[in-house]
Amino acid sequence: MLAYTDQAKSSVDLLTEFTAINSFSTGKKLVFSGVGTRDVYNISAPFLDNGELVIAGRVEDRDKESSEVMFFVERKGEWKPRNGAPIFALQDPFFTFIGDELVFGGVEVYFDGDDPHYVTSWCTVFYRGHSVNELAPFAKGPLTMKDIRLVELNDGRIGVFTRPMEVDGARALIGYVEIDTLEQMTEEVISGADLLRNQFLPEEWGGANEAHLLPGGMIGVLGHIARMEENNIRHYYPMVFAFDPENQRHTPIKLIATRSMFPDGPAKRPDLEDVIFSGGLVRHKDGTASLYTGVSDAEAHVIVIPDPFLEYEG
Could you tell me where the DSSP H helices lie in the chain?
Answer: 11-21, 187-191
CATH of the domain at 257: 2.115.10.20
Q: Sign of the CA dihedral 266, 269, 274, 275?
A: negative
> Using one digit for the tens of pLDDT, what is the confidence trace for 293-313?
999 999 999 999 999 999 999
> Using one digit for the tens of pLDDT, what is the confidence trace for 210-250?
999 999 899 999 999 999 998 889 999 999 999 999 999 99
Report d(CA 197, CA 35) in Å as an integer.
42
The boundaries of the domain holding residue 292 are 11-312
Residue 5 covered by a domain: no
Residue 189 covered by a domain: yes
Residue 132 covered by a domain: yes
Residue 206 covered by a domain: yes
> Using one digit for the tens of pLDDT, what is the confidence trace for 25-69?
789 999 999 999 999 999 999 999 999 999 999 999 999 889 999
The DSSP annotation for 216-274 comes to TS-EEEEEEEEEE-GGG-EEEEEEEEEEETTTTEEPPPEE---GGGS-----SSGGGTE
Q: What is the pLDDT of residue 1?
A: 64
Report d(CA 58, CA 40) in Å as an integer.
5
Residue 133 covered by a domain: yes
Report d(CA 57, CA 40) in Å as an integer.
6
pTM for the full predicted model: 0.96
Query: How many structural domains is the chain composed of?
Result: 1
Residue 252 covered by a domain: yes
> Using one digit for the tens of pLDDT, what is the confidence trace for 105-122?
999 999 887 777 788 999
| Residue (of 75, 238, 99) closest to 181 by Cα position | 99
Residue 23 covered by a domain: yes
Residue 4 covered by a domain: no
